[in-house]
Amino acid sequence: MSSTPSPAPLSTPSPGSASLLPSERRAAVSLAGIFGLRMLGMFLILPVFALYARTLPGGDDHTLIGLALGMYGLTQAVLMIPFGMASDRLGRKPVIVAGLLLFALGSFVAAWSDSLAGIILGRAIQGAGAVSAAVTALLADLTREEKRTQAMAMIGGTIGLSFALSLAAGPAIYHWIGVPGMFALTGVLSLAAIPVLLYVTPRPGHSAFHSDAQASPARLGDVLRDTELLRLNWGIFALHAAQMAMFTVVPFALVQAGNLGVEHHWLVYLPVLLGSLLLMVPVIIAGERRGALKPVLLLAVGLMLLAQLGLALSMTLFWGLVAALFAYFLAFNVLEATLPSLISKIAPPEAKGTAMGVYNTSQALGLFFGGFAGGWLAQHQGFFAVFVFCAALMALWLAWARGMAPPPRVKTQMFHVGRLQATEARALSSRLVVFSGVEAVTVLAEEGSVLLKVSQTGWDEAGVRQLLLHRGGLAG
């Protein structure tokens, strides 16, 4: 049950304390596993489902194939933020357990269905287990503010790994157990995650609202009116709409152009994924260090546009498809890593959780829209039109992103100071803003948190910590 935390002493460790506590590490690892499971459930079928669906009643209607792929995103988008809010009132773990049970139920419904209509229903129920906001809130309860970004990064890495593993392993697993078996496996793993959550994930001493990790209805209007954030929300929408749309037809293209059985599609996905991941890392590092994330973003969107055009022109050319897929995955991986970083830099610290909630909802809506639109276009206009649609999404994104202001070269630092009076919060804010490298200060008196936007290098961390450790008389 959510409760208001009582005043607490400053929990900021010394500058040399760079590691997560054992309880924080256990929380991050176990909750990352739940995130990874959900990604596996969503994407494991992605490279094979369209071909399997052709064998089912109704499989001659490509619109239904796209709807089955994308339906997960619609219910997830509708219920993601409400699940997070419910966890404030009902408790984190009960809400997450309920979501995992829904996810498992949807998986089994899809596994036992012998029609596309049944699978669409199962995917809708899967998406209704929208626990990501509740999981993020639980992780925030279990980690110190100054270590929360590190813990969230572990989850982000797990999500990326799950996506890559899904595409590479999906065709091989399909050969062994088929799509019904893949759905059933997802359901079993979801049920297995419940005892991990209950007995491995630490129990929070109390649950509280965290502005950096949870959506606040009061801040929703400000986030939705922020043009820079809207550009990024459109970007993640377009990125995942194109992803779901193209995978309604890419499996057919690999079969037709390369005479490659579906069980061998991993021979294409694995090397292009590994190669793109190796190239992605230095690109992201260079963009962060040189403050060049906007050029990196524009180049990646431009590469994605070229990849979609390449796919459109290579439907009968196997090596052309391989080259276009390599370009696609390189651009996709760069954008998946860059967009959350930009959200963090641009969003006001006190509205970061709300900004991420809108961002994640936009992503889920993109999955639904892309699946439905891609399926409809494939059915009524042909496969070529699907890639033209994806290219159009990228062209619109590129045109809008060109006007983006260069993101500030900052990072967010958080500290817990215990609840403050309003006068104490104002005094603390005025003292912190004068330190070298501190670009913005937000003191959340009720949450007992200090959020700083600081220069990526050279900020006076020692001075800030010293002030926070000896902050007596701040109301004077």
Where along the chain do its domains lie? 23-401, 410-469
Residues near 293 by Cβ (< 8 Å), separated by ≥ 6?
A: 287, 338, 341, 342, 345, 406, 407
Cα→Cα distances 351→85, 150, 332, Å: 15, 19, 26
Helix (H) or strand (E) holding 441: strand 438-444
Domain 23-401 has CATH 3.40.50.720: no
**What backbone phi and psi angles, to 5 degrees, belong to 342?**
-70, -40
**What backbone phi and psi angles, to 5 degrees, belong to 441?**
-130, 130
* Amino acid of residue 50: A
Query: DSSP state, 453?
Result: E
Helix (H) or strand (E) holding 77: helix 62-90
CA nearest to 308, candidates 369, 388, 239, 377: 388
Q: How many residues does the chain have?
A: 476
**190-221 exposure pattern, b = at least 16 Cβ within 10 A, e = fewer:** beebbebbeeebeebeebbbbbbbbbbeebbe
CA distance 416 to 381: 56
pLDDT of 472:
45
Bridge-based pairing state of the strands 438-444 and 410-416: unpaired
**C-alpha R_g of the chain:** 23
CA nearest to 140, candidates 456, 461, 449: 449
Render each residue's pLDDT in the chain as its tens digit; 476 residues: 333 333 333 333 333 345 778 888 888 888 888 888 777 767 889 999 999 999 998 888 999 999 999 999 999 999 998 888 888 888 889 999 999 999 999 999 999 999 999 999 999 999 999 888 888 888 888 887 777 777 887 887 787 788 888 888 889 899 899 999 999 999 998 999 999 999 999 888 776 777 777 788 888 888 999 999 999 999 999 999 999 999 999 999 999 998 888 889 999 999 999 999 899 889 888 888 888 889 999 999 999 999 999 999 998 899 999 999 999 999 999 999 899 888 888 888 778 888 989 999 999 999 999 999 999 999 999 999 999 999 999 999 999 999 998 888 888 788 878 778 888 888 888 888 888 888 888 888 777 788 888 887 778 888 888 888 776 434 33
Cβ neighbours of 170 (radius 10 Å) = 25
Helices (H), 129-144: 132-142
Tokens representing 454 are 């600081």
- pTM (two decimals): 0.87
Residue 425: half-sphere exposure toward Cβ, Cα within 13 Å: 17
Exposed/middle/buried for 116, CB within 10 Å: 0-12, 13-18, 19+?
buried
DSSP string over 223-255? HHH-HHHHHHHHHHHHHHHHHHHHTTTHHHHHH
Tokens representing 351 are 């509205």
CA distance 429 to 444: 10
CA distance 449 to 214: 14
Cβ atoms 193, 99 nearer than 8 A: no
Sheet of strand 449-455, all strands in order from the earlier edge strand to the far edge: 410-416, 449-455, 438-444
Domain 410-469 has CATH 3.40.640.10: no
